[in-house]
Amino acid sequence: MQIKVNNLKTDLEKLNNLINTYYDDTLNMYNELSYSSNYWEDNKAIKYYDNIKKEKIANFQFIEELEDLKQVYQIMIERYEKIGNNIKCNLKNRYNVLNYFDKYLNKISKIVRLYRSISDRSLVENHIVTLQNNYSKILSTRKKIAQKFNEIENIEKEIKRLIDKVDVTYLKESEIREYL
Interval 159-172: pLDDT, tens: 888 888 776 655 54
pTM over 0.85: no
Angle in degrees, 0-180, between the axes of helices 43-81 and 5-36, rounded to the nearest 10 = 170
Question: 31: pLDDT confidence band, cut at 50, 70 and 90?
Answer: confident
Q: Are 116 and 128 in contact (CB under 8 A)?
A: yes
Domain ranges of the chain: 2-179
Average pLDDT for 78-105 = 89
State the Cα–Cα distance between residues 16 and 41, nearest whole angstrom.
Answer: 38
Q: Which amino acid is at 3?
A: I
Q: Are strands 2-4 and 86-88 parallel, antiparallel or unpaired?
A: antiparallel
